[in-house]
């Protein structure tokens, strides 16, 4: 039987990255369409806790490998271990969530496996050996249906397009394996986390985003976000200016979000920003410029000064969180 | 220090991309082209490194004769010479990485700088494939701590730090929830994120000088690389359009719509 191998991602804080759950759901969808079996892989300094979480998500086997070298993610250390496991299992598909780690790691795994890869897969089509993948190109302005013709196929899966895998789907077998560890020419130096009490951007139900129009003053954006229990996002311009941390950037080159409600304040709506938020369920735009392109995708547009209307909006929505 | 940088030719990021009715490609008419913005950042970083540490910046592009425009752009910015891999027709990331591997083996650079992704395919793969093919270290999504409006940026200091012994580079990477710093032993592959630097404009003397800088021509055959496609694009389509929204006059009507129509709050 063909095998789909999904790589789980452990965050620097030791927790499972939520996007892994979406990747697992995509993996089981693929397994169903390709008539394959779903397996998971986890590399960690101590995989026991996350292995428990990964059990019962619908996978036949959860493969874990423990090594001190896995404490900090490095492509050169992770890729040989994952590629060797994929070879041992004779996996037909290797995938992971389209996160910074997924995008850094998977092409390197694919190179080892002489495999072609599709990035940011949004849909899985067809069945059996004729499975094809849909993925965005040109900043999400085009969707391409692609077929990978190498024996092994590698995929990064866009979390916002797949539901999160739920537990309670039978106990998976947990198998530990001895990972192949190769010396790395790259050393981990440090990781500076941007800590936030707000929900993670790519998982939030509501996102409030600010652009150039804020002139760098995010107080009202943050106050509204806190009122709604929302995450805060930003356009490229404000990240470039250093007004907010880079990891808040939404767009083709930043994060892709698809919340229930997206509120864009002082964001003009450049093509590259729209690529990151166009799939949001309801979009609200607040902008002084009635011609701003953001109004073309907004369900509700308000032509106004954000500094005037954001406090009003916050008061009107008070106590909703 | 010898630095090899890539210069893919792509559609201008401001152009409106439309799919042909039969889904076989995009409408070419009226499109403008330029160097991939991430590659332009790679060229800039290469020039800054060469200015600080001495050395040469070699720019490479793969494609039909039009890609020489991207090479000339990089040469006008200040790159020293160019390599053009002449190939007509589509390529996938495996093919591109295999061609680049041969160019790297020929040129033997200390550092290869590529954009983290090209804004047409949006694949974000080639640098990583290349690093693995070469058995080199990689630092993807290279960024920096300072903003693009900082004094340091105005001084055009390189964001990639060369180690004291000249054998390593220190790279700050933009990752989920923060910034990670890696140290790579040279030679290494680094892919650029948007916030690594602000590329310079090509000056008029730069443009004039670029005309006499050499472009070496290679082909996949000369490099001994089979570029048969492993990724087949079957069909292109436009994303479903969002239905036109409405403008509301004030906050009260916005809240009313969000509550009663969209049921979003």
Tell me the pTM. Answer: 0.95
* Residue of A144, A202, A274 for testing the chain B interface, max B β-carbons within 10 Å: A144
Three-state SS annotation for B166-234: CCEEEEEEEECCEEEEEEEECCEEEEECHHHCCCCCCCHHHHHHHCCCCEEEECHHHHCCCCCCCEEEE
Instruction: Tell me what the mean pLDDT of segment B14-27 comes to.
Output: 94
Q: What is the three-class DSSP state of B25?
A: coil
The one-character DSSP state at A275 is T
pLDDT number for residue B64: 98
Q: A3-176 adopts what CATH topology? A: Rossmann fold (3.40.50)
DSSP line for A202-257: GG-SEEEEE-GGGTT--HHHHHHHHHHTPEEEE-HHHHHTTSS-GGGBBSTTSB--
Q: What pLDDT, on the 0 to 100 scale, is given for residue A320? A: 66
pLDDT tens-digit readout, A40-67:
999 999 999 999 999 999 999 999 999 9
Portion of chain A with pLDDT greater than 70, in percent: 99
Comparing CB atoms, the residue among A104, A119, A206 nearest residue B123 is A119
Interface contact flag, B26 A120, Cβ < 8 Å: no
Average predicted confidence (pLDDT) for chain A: 95
CA distance readout (Å), A58 to A41, A95, A153, A286, B1: 13, 16, 21, 43, 51
For residues B166-186, give the mean pLDDT: 95
- Inside any domain, residue B83: yes
pLDDT at B240: 87
B222, B216, B226, B220: which is closest to B68 by C-alpha? B216
SS3 state at A163: coil
CB contact under 8 Å between B265 and A228, yes or no, is: yes
Share of chain A above pLDDT 90, in %: 91
Q: Looking at the domain assignment, is residue B63 inside a domain? A: yes
> What are the structural domain ranges in chain A?
3-176, 206-319
Compute the distance between CA of residue A7 and CA of residue A27 in angstroms, rounded to an integer. 10
In this complex, do A75 and B141 lie within 8 Å of one another by their Cβ atoms?
Answer: no
| Binding residue ranges of A for FAD | 212, 235-236, 249-253, 266-273, 287
**For chain B, what is the domain count?**
1
Whether A96 shows a pLDDT value over 90: the answer reads yes
What's the CATH code of the domain at B92? 3.40.50.620
Q: Is B239 helix (H, G, I), strand (E, B) or coil?
A: coil
**Cβ B121 vs Cβ B44: under 8 Å:** no
Whether residue B248 is contained in a domain is answered as no
Q: What pLDDT is attached to residue A169?
A: 87
Does the residue B252 lie in any domain? no
Q: What is the pLDDT of residue A321?
A: 59
Which of A118, A138, A247, A309 has the highest number of chain B CBs within 10 A, making it the mutation to test binding with B? Answer: A138
pLDDT-derived band of residue B172, with 50, 70 and 90 as boundaries? Answer: very high
- A37-44 vs A61-66, strand pairing mode: parallel
pLDDT reading at A319 higher than 80: no
Yes or no: domain A206-319 corresponds to CATH 3.30.930.10:
no
pLDDT-derived band at A16 (thresholds 50, 70, 90) equals very high
- At A248-258, the pLDDT tens digits run 999 988 899 99
Its domain, for residue B31, covers 2-234
pLDDT of residue B244: 81
Asked if A212 and A237 touch (Cβ cutoff 8 Å), the reply is yes
**Per-residue pLDDT tens over the stretch A178-202:** 998 999 999 999 999 988 889 989 9
């Amino acid at each position: 039987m063909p095998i789909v191998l999904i790589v789980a991602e452990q965050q620097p804080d030791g927790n499972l990255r939520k996007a892994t759950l979406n990747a697992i759901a995509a993996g089981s969808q693929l397994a169903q369409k390709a008539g394959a079996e779903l397996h998971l892989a986890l590399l960690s300094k101590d995989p026991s806790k996350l292995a428990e979480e990964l059990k019962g998500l619908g996978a036949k086997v959860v493969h874990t490998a423990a090594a001190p070298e896995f404490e900090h993610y490095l492509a050169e250390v992770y890729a040989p271990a994952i590629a060797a496991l994929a070879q041992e299992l004779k996996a037909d598909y290797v995938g992971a969530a389209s996160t910074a780690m997924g995008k850094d790691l998977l092409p390197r795994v694919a190179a080892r496996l002489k495999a072609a890869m599709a990035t940011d897969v949004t849909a899985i089509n067809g069945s059996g050996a004729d499975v094809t993948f849909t993925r965005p190109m040109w900043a999400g302005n085009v969707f391409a249906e692609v077929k990978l013709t190498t024996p092994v196929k590698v995929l990064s899966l866009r979390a916002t397009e797949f539901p999160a895998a739920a537990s309670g789907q039978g106990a998976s077998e947990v198998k530990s394996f001895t990972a192949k560890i190769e010396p790395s020419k790259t050393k981990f130096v440090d990781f500076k986390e941007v800590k936030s009490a707000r929900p993670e951007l790519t998982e939030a139900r509501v996102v409030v985003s600010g652009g150039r129009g804020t002139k760098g003053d995010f107080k009202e954006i943050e106050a509204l976000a806190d009122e709604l229990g929302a995450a805060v996002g930003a356009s490229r311009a404000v990240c470039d200016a250093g007004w907010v941390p880079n990891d808040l950037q939404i767009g083709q080159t930043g994060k892709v979000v698809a919340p229930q409600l997206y509120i864009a304040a002082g964001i003009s709506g450049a093509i590259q920003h729209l690529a990151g938020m166009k799939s949001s369920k309801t979009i609200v735009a607040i902008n002084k410029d009635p011609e701003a392109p953001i109004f073309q995708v907004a369900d509700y547009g308000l032509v106004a000064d954000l500094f005037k209307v954001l406090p009003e909006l916050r008061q009107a929505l008070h106590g909703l969180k | 220090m010898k630095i090899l940088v890539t210069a893919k030719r792509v559609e201008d990021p401001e152009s409106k991309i439309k799919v042909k009715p039969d889904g076989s490609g995009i409408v070419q008419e009226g499109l403008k082209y330029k160097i991939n913005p991430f590659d332009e950042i790679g060229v800039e970083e290469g020039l800054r490194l060469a200015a600080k540490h001495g050395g040469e910046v070699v720019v490479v592009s793969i494609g039909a004769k039009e890609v020489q425009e991207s090479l000339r752009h990089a040469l006008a910015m200040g790159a020293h010479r160019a390599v053009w891999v002449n190939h007509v027709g589509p390529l996938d990331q495996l093919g591109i990485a295999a061609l680049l591997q041969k160019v790297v083996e020929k040129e033997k650079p200390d550092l290869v700088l590529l954009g983290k992704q090209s804004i047409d395919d949006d694949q974000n793969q080639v640098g990583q494939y290349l690093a693995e093919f070469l058995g080199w270290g990689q630092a993807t999504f290279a960024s920096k701590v300072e903003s693009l409006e900082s004094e340091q940026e105005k001084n055009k200091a390189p964001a990639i730090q060369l180690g004291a012994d000249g054998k390593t580079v220190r790279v700050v990477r933009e990752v989920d929830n923060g910034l990670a710093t890696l140290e790579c032993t040279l030679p290494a592959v680094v892919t650029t994120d948007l916030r690594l630097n602000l590329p310079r404009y090509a000056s008029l003397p730069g443009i004039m000088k670029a005309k006499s800088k050499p472009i070496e021509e290679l082909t996949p055959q000369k490099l001994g690389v089979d570029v048969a496609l492993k990724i087949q694009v079957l069909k292109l389509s436009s994303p479903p359009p969002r239905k036109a929204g409405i403008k509301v006059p004030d906050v009260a009507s916005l809240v009313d719509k969000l509550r009663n129509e969209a049921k979003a709050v």
